[in-house]
Structure 1
Amino acid sequence: METDFLANLLLVVDSGSMAEAARRVGVTPAAVAQQIQSLERELGVPLLVRAGRTVIPTEAGHRVIERARGLVRELSELKAFALEGEASGELRIGTITTALLSLLPDALASFATAFPQAKVLIRAGTSMELYDTLQRGDLDVAVCLHPAFALPKAYDWHLLREEPIVVLAPARLAKDDPHELLRREPFIRYDRSLGGGKQADDYLRGAKIVPHELFELNSLMAIAMMVDRGLGVSLAPDIVSPLTAGLGIARIALPAKTEPRRFGVLWHRASPRGRLIAGFLRCADESVGAGQAGAQIR
């Protein structure tokens, strides 16, 4: 039985779609469907049924999936143990989009130089999605915001960067009062379902500011570009990215102290990929240090 087929079955179940599973592993939906059919022929039972636009496990499928998760994880760990001394193997990294578009490319460039035999698999998602995926054993490390709850003792956390909440405004408004800008200018809101967006919303409530809201979106890079184009101002974490370095925006400190957005690396202490994880942490720290050099709030 092909363990890759089992891994793709789990991906179909977790994503709810053969098309999405195929997109993530870089094959066609037809190829994934053939793999599932091959498993069904070998096991002698149907594993999935269609429910509208999604697929769900059959009763037999649920039983198989429960065992398959452990088998896939144990095989992956066995490979990692075998290759650990060779500084190779696969490192599965989950990341929030902000990190993917800022520090991660530089960190991965350094990592690839230090561990040329290692294969890296990257998945993007929200912090909570990444935490859940890490718990299931489908990721080795997550570059994410620190969870809003106490971490289990089985996990380790390494802080990479603290980002204060600042007012993002067109450069021509750099000397204006930040609260006045938030009250006067069109407002581009950072998604309130995300950590930094919640912090911004709490600040506005505390300061009794009701902005003239025109947009709400979940991409800090897109918000910075919209501010650069003069579409309004925003209240968001102060990110550092080469994608925003050339934009004409001012990052204005708030008059009241706020809790910064903290993001870093989360991993399981007992991971068999400890050597690769330690190497990735070193590379990420170096990238953060290089990115912060010269980055000052105006």
Structure 2
Amino acid sequence: MRRNDLDGLIALLKVAERRSFSAAAADLGVTPSAISQSVRALEERAGVALLARTTRDVAPTEAGRRFLERARPAVDDIFDAFREAGSLGDRPSGLLRLNVPRVAMPSLIEPILADFCRAYPDVQVELFIDDRLANIVEGGFDAGIRIGELIEADMVAVPLTGPFKLAIIGSPDYFARHGRPQRPEDLRDHRCINFRQSSRALYHWEFEEDGREYALAVDGQIIVNEGSVMISAAVMGLGLAYVLAPVVEPLCEQGLLESVLQPFMPETPGFFLYFPSRHQVMPKLRAFIDFARERLR
């Protein structure tokens, strides 16, 4: 099929319905001459006359009737598709695909998910748990959630939390056996749980002191590539872990973990929800953004 094979189809349907070029032209807001030319061009491409014309009437030929019997339902389906797509632009509905790091689930998603689903029953939520910094456009996601400094500058980023500190944590048993580091340099004498990034490099622990930022490579027996596993290893006393402070607050309150080196820990701008373009925000995503910001602030 050539790109212009369907040109004139709407004109033909309207003329057949109204039995008049003038009436069809008035309905479509064009001139009768334009309607006539569109239909004639369609007939030339079909290789057969589709309308029989007299001075008083216009009616489909036998070929025209058969053509219209097949074409009219197809055109109706196309207009139904447009109406259905348009309806998605008016109300929150459809599949909302979110790319979320595992570490954000307990503090950001789990507290609001049930209430959001109840508030928007026509929205189906897909949570794709991914600790890599994924390309959400390539992956077909509506939005992602990440720490602010990890988000590309060309993305629209909406804050979900305020800034918070990073933390180095260990179990009371670990500190009883190995003591507490007093300065970042002391970590050379400690067992640290390393984190393998998606780039395959080990994450270097970052610190601040007297306005200076620096990072240290650490060593230890355990290497992981997932945040919750790192925290679990720290609870088991296998070493120190470098984590987001709010994520481990409940475990610290329960006495399962303790924090060290607080004066040297940097602050992160917090979690953000990000997406490619402000002009492409569907109601389902806008509803989630507004709901999350209201509940999490």
Question: How would you bin the TM-score normalised by the shorter chain?
Answer: 0.5 to 0.7
Aligned counterpart in structure 1 of residue 183 of structure 2, from 170, 175, 179: 179
Q: Is the 8 A contact 2:116 2:288 kept in 1?
A: yes
How far apart are residue 158 of structure 1 and its match?
Answer: 1.0
Q: Is the 8 A contact 1:188 1:233 kept in 2?
A: yes
Name the counterpart of 2:145: 143
- Residue identity matched to 2:148: H
How far apart are residue 103 of structure 1 and its match?
Answer: 1.8
Aligned counterpart in structure 2 of residue 89 of structure 1, from 81, 91, 94: 94
How big is the alpha-carbon RMSD for the aligned residues of Structure 1 and Structure 2?
Answer: 3.7
1:228 aligned onto 2:229: no
Name the counterpart of 2:258: 250
Query: Hey, what's the Cα distance between the residues in 2 that align with 1:246 and 1:77?
Result: 55
1:159 aligned onto 2:159: yes
- Residue identity matched to 1:277: L
Q: Give 1:71-90 correspondences, 5 Å limit.
A: 81-90=86-95
Q: 5+ unaligned residues in a row in structure 1: which ranges?
A: 1-75, 290-298
Q: Is the 8 A contact 1:192 1:201 kept in 2?
A: no
Name the counterpart of 2:40: none
| Percent of matched pairs sharing the same residue | 17
Query: Hey, what's the Cα distance between the residues in 2 that align with 1:269 and 1:169?
Result: 42
How far apart are residue 248 of structure 1 and its match?
Answer: 0.3
**TM-score of the superposed pair, with normalisation by structure 2:** 0.56
Name the counterpart of 1:63: none
Q: 5+ unaligned residues in a row in structure 2: which ranges?
A: 1-80
**Distance change (3 Å), C-alpha of 1:281 and 1:77:** farther
Name the counterpart of 2:17: none
Q: For the pair shown, which has the larger CA radius of gyration, 1 or 2?
A: 2
1:2-38 per-residue CA deviation (whole Å, 9 max, x = no partner) reads: xxxxxxxxxxxxxxxxxxxxxxxxxxxxxxxxxxxxx
How far apart are residue 252 of structure 1 and its match?
Answer: 3.0
Name the counterpart of 1:284: 292
Q: Is the 8 A contact 2:148 2:271 kept in 1?
A: yes
Number of aligned positions between the proteins: 206
**Distance change (3 Å), C-alpha of 1:106 and 1:98:** same
**Distance change (3 Å), C-alpha of 1:243 and 1:190:** farther
1:45-82 per-residue CA deviation (whole Å, 9 max, x = no partner) reads: xxxxxxxxxxxxxxxxxxxxxxxxxxxxxxx9985532
How far apart are residue 110 of structure 1 and its match?
Answer: 2.2
Name the counterpart of 2:129: 124
Q: Give 1:105-116 correspondences, 5 Å limit.
A: 105-116=110-121
- Residue identity matched to 1:138: G
